[in-house]
Chains A and B, each alone.
Chain A
Amino acid sequence: EPEVTQTPSHQVTQMGQEVILRCVPISNHLYFYWYRQILGQKVEFLVSFYNNEISEKSEIFDDQFSVERPDGSNFTLKIRSTKLEDSAMYFCASSQGNNQPQHFGDGTRLSIL
């Protein structure tokens, strides 16, 4: 069964540094998402992406965050200048269509020191 893959599984970065989290969505999916889960808290929506543009973003997704689909297969989340509070598990997801089930990757654990 096709799956969403995320790399790396764990990223350790110094505060203030830029970080890029990478995702390969399922190949025939058209909608892409990023969520995050701070330790002990609920999964929170960050951003959705369709037709090469952001379709919705949360208030968490401020100017420090950006997303890109640089080629036909990858979907990336960039955090420009990381803060301690960015430490979390970041999940990528994709879906085939509007309100179709979202399929999640195994996540990238981001630790900011």
Chain B
Amino acid sequence: AQSVTQLGSHVSVSEGALVLLRCNYSSSVPPYLFWYVQYPNQGLQLLLKYTSAATLVKGINGFEAEFKKSETSFHLTKPSAHMSDAAEYFCAVSEAGGGNKLTFGTGTQLKVEL
């Protein structure tokens, strides 16, 4: 069975500072990994995906994530936070050959302060 753990339900950074949102997964087979962002009163928007090609994945809005098999991690980073990055971020996993069901983490609310 697959699962996702997001450490830190709330993260606060200053504008211009590094953003680091943590995600660890467990999966019995090679996983597909995704990061989604949710702005208030909106749906989930795909930021980036890992599908067993390059381990460093670049997404939209300057975000990237690195797949580390040895650490079972897929942390999301952005070098310099912007006020518009304030939102809730969800890490999700689906299993190769296991259907398309996404299993989500509990989410991390990112706050960006001046």
Please list the residues of chain A having a beta carbon within 8 angstroms of any beta carbon in chain B: 4, 6, 31, 33, 35, 41-45, 48, 55-56, 58, 91, 93, 95, 98-99, 101-107
Interface code B4-48, partner A: CB below 8 Å = 1, 0 otherwise? 000000000000000000000000000010101000011111100
B interface residues, Cβ below 8 angstroms from A: 32, 34, 36, 41-46, 49, 51, 90, 92, 94, 96, 99-107
Contact present for B104 and A42 (CB under 8 Å): yes
Return 18 A-B CB contacts under 8 Å, by A number: A33-B100, A33-B101, A42-B90, A42-B104, A43-B44, A43-B102, A43-B104, A44-B104, A45-B101, A45-B102, A55-B99, A58-B101, A91-B43, A101-B34, A102-B102, A103-B46, A104-B45, A106-B42
With A98-B100, A99-B100, A101-B34 as given contacts, are A106 and B43 in contact (CB-CB < 8 Å)?
yes
Residues of B within 8 A of A103 (CB): 46
* Chain A-chain B contacts (Cβ-Cβ < 8 Å), number: 58
Query: Is the pair B107, A99 in contact by a Cβ cutoff of 8 Å?
Result: no
Q: Which residue of A lies closest to B31 (CB)?
A: A99
Instruction: State the Cβ distance, B1 to closest chain A Cβ, in Å.
Output: 12
Pair A102/B100 contact, Cβ less than 8 Å: yes
In the docked arrangement, what's the CA distance between A4 and B36, Å? 15
Distance in Å from the Cβ of B84 to the closest Cβ of chain A?
A: 18
* Assembled-state Cα–Cα distance A23/B74 (Å): 31
Q: Which chain A positions have C-beta within 8 A of B107? A: 42-43
For the complex of A and B, the 5 pairs showing the least CB-CB separation, nearest first, are: A104-B43, A104-B44, A106-B43, A43-B104, A42-B106
Starting from the known contacts A42-B105, A55-B100, 19 additional A-B residue pairs (CB-CB under 8 Å) come to A33-B101, A35-B102, A42-B106, A43-B44, A43-B90, A43-B104, A48-B100, A56-B101, A93-B44, A98-B100, A99-B32, A99-B94, A99-B100, A101-B34, A103-B46, A104-B45, A105-B43, A106-B41, A106-B43
